[in-house]
Structure 1
Amino acid sequence: MKILQKYFSLEIGRSVLFVLIAFLALFAFFDLVGELKSVGHGGYKIQHAFLYVLLEMPGYVYELMPIAALIGTIWALSQFAARSEFTIMRASSMSTAMVGGMLLKIGVVFALITFVFGEFVVPMTSNMAERIRVNSQGGALSQEFRSGLWTKDVIRSNGQEGEVLGSRFVNVRELKPDGKLLNLRIYEFNRNFHLTTLITASSADYAGANTWTLNDGTVANFGESKLQGAITATDITTAISTSKFKTQSLISEMTPEILSVGFTDPATMSAIALVNYTQYLSENNRDTVRYEIALWKKVVYPFAVFVMMALALPFAYLHFRSGGVSLKIFTGIMIGVSFQLINSLFSHLGLLNTWPPFATAILPSLLFLTVAVGALMWVERH
């Protein structure tokens, strides 16, 4: 049994690696062609395009691993069947359950690789790729929005703790890749949603510990009690006090990581980052469904490797001599593409119809697992 396990692992591992490299080469070529139109804009040169495409490859490894596991396993099992090795193995008392157990052990390795790439490698490389693009082109992350970036925060009596005193809305015109904020407007409201303070600043630097340093700005305080009794324009003017500052500290739940999430695909975020950002949105009474779905997909997606390998197992029982392997590979590619399409479709349907995030994430895998079990039962009977 150990010899068979080693043989299966070697053949399937080699096939999966070959398929994965082929897919990566194909996607790298198309991405590089797409990046060529940006070469020459600002300081974006051909070496930046190559580096950007290279840093995007871990994301494709994460996305394509289940499909590569499916096609690679189909290829290896088809070779066993074409050379009658699988028939000999079955004649030597190897049951379907034993084959499934061997595939399960191999799938654990691929699932771990998928998890490591999705949780640790992809968030880092995707962030580096975006920084290279923005820095070389001399741009800012928020320039694509006409009004800049908007975010909401909670004002507490003791910085991050204590009683909630009101709400804070922050408008940032530009967010630099290094986390520096340019041209800020901060609107602070009390619990009755009356405007109490308007702060403007030319820039803000993150000092750590949820503290921002505002530079070169003004503060306008609106005296609520005086404004309520104001009758003339003079009364209104005297009720508003303004002052200028060179530097001023602002304690906020916002961090550069939280602000940059608005420009990040949730699929490239780690599960920990998704948990933190979902909690931040929930505390500020903002919609969290999109990020909850992304979080559950991040948890469920590595297990899709097992589903894909289960789908590959019935192909070992199909004995085609002429052109059989090509037909199986083509079928495997179609199944893999269908899985990706349905997985993406369910994410959008779940977001539109407010389905439970966990159900939205796991239903595609359950659907294909049901197909795999049904196909295996059919080939066993026939």
Structure 2
Amino acid sequence: MRRLDRYIGTVVLAAIGLVLAVIVGLDAVAAFIDEAEDISDTYSFAEVSLYILLTLPGRCYEYIPFAALIGCLLGLGQLASSSELVVMRAAGVSTGRLVWTALQPALLVAILGFVLGDQVAPHTDRMAETRRALAQDPSEAFSGRHGIWSREGSTFLHFNALEPAGVVHGIILLQFDEQRRLLTALRASRATYAGGRWLMRDVVQTHFSSWQTTRETLPQLYWETGITPDLLTLVVVEPAQLSLADLYRYSRYLHSQGMESEDYRLALWRKILQPLAVGALVLVAISFIFGPLREGTVGFRIFAGVIIGIAFRTSQDLLGPASMVFGFDPVYAALLPIVACALAGFALLARAR
């Protein structure tokens, strides 16, 4: 029986790996073509290639549920087409045992993907975004395409790029009063963090009042703030690309500043529940192989997998904003598509028996 388990697991695991490689490869090629439009003297072909390479872990993590779904359809479909599943069931292997055997490699991929998305992808994505921002605009940092905004109280901060050593490029500070009137606008070419404060260099500061505007140029200026380099690294990338610890920490920070944190809470729950999402999608794939797609062709199975994956992703994309609009907890937005897939899979398996 263990030999049979290894055989089924190897077939399913190989199919998932093949599908993941194809999907991520196509996505990387499309991203490379898109980035190639910005190639310049500083943002060279090598920099574009390195950017794509650094984003590969994040792309793999993003497509793991989709690859597990289609890979399971193809792997088990291959066994069904060659009548191997029929022989296994005729030999006394129960449907439940076959389902559990097929689920194991998919859950292994889900766990590995979780580790990849939580421990590897956040760091490589930050490196990729920082290198791209610096390469695209190394001299005049204020006009960077990929600048980021953050806020602390009534002070708004914009920066173009953040290096891992805590060096920020292209800083703009806007300070408002309680009536949201602009008091001070500051621009600095770069800033370094040391001793709990920022040292900004090449500063141009403009003060606004009801009767005049004054401007001064300073070689350097200290900025006392609670915003640290660790905090700024969290806004360089999208919420879905952060680790669990960073998502929890930054959502708490946003809440303390009176800002909306639902995006980060939703990303937190989606990351926590992704292994369950993979399991639910694979369960639907297995139920299709034992049910309506038992005699289907490879092309039709791929088509069915794509439709299921799109429906699952669309439901996630719709429920996420809905949780913010209607005010229900983001955990329900992340959990509802998973529960729906799991129930559909169990229902189809019950009919197949």
The TM-score bracket by the shorter chain reads 0.7 to 0.9
- From 342, 365, 368, give the equivalent of 2:341: 368
- Residue 14 of structure 2 aligns with an amino acid whose one-letter code is R
Shift of the 244–105 alpha-carbon distance from structure 1 to 2, 3 Å rule, reads same
Q: Deviations over 1:167-220 (max 9, x none)?
A: 551444x4333232545546487xx8899x969574563434642224466999
Return the offset for 1:333.
Answer: 2.1
Aligned equivalent of 2:44: 45
Shift of the 209–300 alpha-carbon distance from structure 1 to 2, 3 Å rule, reads farther
CA distance in 1, matches of 2:149, 2:294: 62
Larger radius of gyration: 1
Aligned equivalent of 1:162: none
CA distance in 2, matches of 1:31, 1:201: 33
State whether residues 58 and 121 of structure 2, in contact with CA within 8 Å, keep that contact through their aligned partners in structure 1.
Answer: yes
Aligned equivalent of 1:119: 118
Return the offset for 1:142.
Answer: 6.4
Mapping for residues 1-382 of structure 1, pairs under 5 Å: 1-39=1-39, 41-138=40-137, 143=143, 151-153=150-152, 167-172=153-158, 174-178=159-163, 179-182=167-170, 184-185=172-173, 187=175, 200=186, 202=188, 205-208=191-194, 210-215=196-201, 249-318=222-291, 324-380=297-353
Q: Deviations over 1:25-78 (max 9, x none)?
A: 221222222222112x34122222222222222222111111111111111211
TM-score, length of structure 1 as denominator length: 0.78
Shift of the 372–251 alpha-carbon distance from structure 1 to 2, 3 Å rule, reads same
Gaps of 5+ in 2: none
CA distance in 2, matches of 1:264, 1:288: 15
Shift of the 341–208 alpha-carbon distance from structure 1 to 2, 3 Å rule, reads farther
Shift of the 204–131 alpha-carbon distance from structure 1 to 2, 3 Å rule, reads closer
Shift of the 209–361 alpha-carbon distance from structure 1 to 2, 3 Å rule, reads farther
TM-score, length of structure 2 as denominator length: 0.84
CA distance in 2, matches of 1:142, 1:367: 47
- Residue 96 of structure 2 aligns with an amino acid whose one-letter code is A
Q: How many residue pairs were aligned?
A: 348
- Residue 98 of structure 1 aligns with an amino acid whose one-letter code is R
State whether residues 193 and 229 of structure 2, in contact with CA within 8 Å, keep that contact through their aligned partners in structure 1.
Answer: no
Compute the RMSD of aligned alpha carbons: 3.6
CA distance in 2, matches of 1:349, 1:49: 36
Q: Deviations over 1:296-349 (max 9, x none)?
A: 111112221111210111233248787633322221222122222222222232
Gaps of 5+ in 1: 154-166, 222-232
- Residue 253 of structure 1 aligns with an amino acid whose one-letter code is G
CA distance in 1, matches of 2:320, 2:129: 24
Identity level (%) = 25
